[in-house]
Amino acid sequence: MRRRLAHALTPLRLAALVYVGLMLLVLVAAPLLAPADPLSQDVADRLASPGGAHVLGTDELGRDILSRIIYGARVELLIALGATLVSMLLGTLLGLLGGYFGGIVEVITMRVVVDVLLAFPPIILVLLAVTLRGPGTGTLIAAMGVLFAPTFARIAYGQVISVKRLEFVEAATAFGAPTRTRLFGVILPNISAPLIVQVSLTIATAILLESGLSYLGLGVVPPTPSWGSMVAQGQRYLSSDPHVLLVPGAFVVLTILAFGLVGDALRSGLDPKSRSNR
């Protein structure tokens, strides 16, 4: 597996992995990395061009854009990682139960819960949650966690169907291993590879969705920095001060692309049948 992972890390994927590592560093060390208070205003220095005291310039209120990008990355990653964790736990549990037990359990988990969630447009579900509970970090994590759970459920369900009749599972049953052990100690470790790949792809999707909601004013509540809200505020100055919009927009694109490339590398490295690691 290590050899496949090493072979899967092309220069572009390696650069993406380094970028993701830097984003995770920002997540835990944002106060140490930010050169200024992201909420501090200096109207006299508003819309300053990149360079000098402000590496990426300032916005319409004179706030340091680099600091707001750093703190915005922290918010984006917290929401994306939280939503991915919720969806992975919920979806994997549904897929495990439905795939292993079948029958009425499969009908309830995969047909009633998963298929009903998939029947609704994703953005509608999130907008409904935001309307009912109000915008905020907790609402977004919960709503997106439920929204992305069906994907994990379907992956887990398909994998369980393919392995539950294999020898190692039947051996665990023959030796009297309890159901909990068979599900979480025998089957789950052997179906984890595609779930791990899906984690990185879900993080990218969550960042895109949160940025879109914040752009519409339905995401993170101001004045907390968010890349989507920074793009929305900066579009008014595109013709005169394009950096106010282009800088946060570039970080949204780069971060989504980086997590996607990491997911592609994981797929190539963890799946021996993959041919995408060229």
The pLDDT tens digits of the residues spanning 46-79 come to: 988 888 788 999 998 999 999 999 999 999 999 9
Read off the pLDDT of residues 160-193 as tens digits, 9 standing for 90 and up. 999 988 888 888 888 888 889 989 999 999 899 8
Task: Report yes or no on 275 lying in a domain.
Answer: no
Q: What is the rounded distance in angstroms from the CA atom of residue 257 to the CA atom of residue 7? A: 20
Q: What is the rounded distance in angstroms from the CA atom of residue 30 to the CA atom of residue 146? A: 28
Number of domains in the chain: 1
Read off the pLDDT of residues 106-140 as tens digits, 9 standing for 90 and up. 999 998 889 888 887 777 888 888 888 878 888 89
Task: Report yes or no on 164 lying in a domain.
Answer: yes
Count CA atoms within 13 Å of residue 37 on its CB side: 6
Task: Report yes or no on 198 lying in a domain.
Answer: yes
| Residue range of the domain that includes 102 | 79-241
Task: Report yes or no on 27 lying in a domain.
Answer: no
Q: How confident is the model at residue 276 (pLDDT cuts 50, 70, 90)?
A: very low
Task: Report yes or no on 6 lying in a domain.
Answer: no
At 218 the pLDDT is 83
Measured CA angle at 197 (ends 225, 276), to 5 deg: 115
Decide if pLDDT at 267 tops 70: yes
Q: How confident is the model at residue 243 (pLDDT cuts 50, 70, 90)?
A: very high
Decide if pLDDT at 105 tops 70: yes
Residues 6+ apart with CB under 8 A from 101: none
Q: How confident is the model at residue 3 (pLDDT cuts 50, 70, 90)?
A: low
Measured CA angle at 206 (ends 201, 211), to 5 deg: 130
Tell me if 243 sits within 8 A of 49, measured CB to CB.
yes
Tell me if 185 sits within 8 A of 128, measured CB to CB.
no
Task: Report yes or no on 29 lying in a domain.
Answer: no
CATH number of the structural domain spanning residue 104: 1.10.3720.10
At 274 the pLDDT is 52
Residue 140 φ/ψ, nearest 5 degrees: -65, -40
Tell me if 154 sits within 8 A of 90, measured CB to CB.
no
Tell me if 268 sits within 8 A of 8, measured CB to CB.
yes
Decide if pLDDT at 26 tops 70: yes
Tell me if 203 sits within 8 A of 84, measured CB to CB.
yes
Report the percentage of the chain scoring pLDDT > 90.
49
pTM of the model: 0.89
Decide if pLDDT at 209 tops 60: yes
- Measuring CA to CA, which residue among 157, 148, 268, 168 is closest to residue 208? 148
Task: Report yes or no on 17 lying in a domain.
Answer: no
Task: Report yes or no on 10 lying in a domain.
Answer: no
Q: What is the rounded distance in angstroms from the CA atom of residue 212 to the CA atom of residue 54? A: 27
* DSSP bridge pairs for 144: none
Decide if pLDDT at 265 tops 80: yes
Decide if pLDDT at 208 tops 50: yes
- Measuring CA to CA, which residue among 78, 46, 80 is closest to residue 60? 46
- Measuring CA to CA, which residue among 117, 277, 270, 256 is closest to residue 195? 270
Amino acid found at 67: S
At 6 the pLDDT is 66
- Measuring CA to CA, which residue among 213, 222, 231, 233 is closest to residue 140? 213
Q: What is the rounded distance in angstroms from the CA atom of residue 88 to the CA atom of residue 132? A: 24
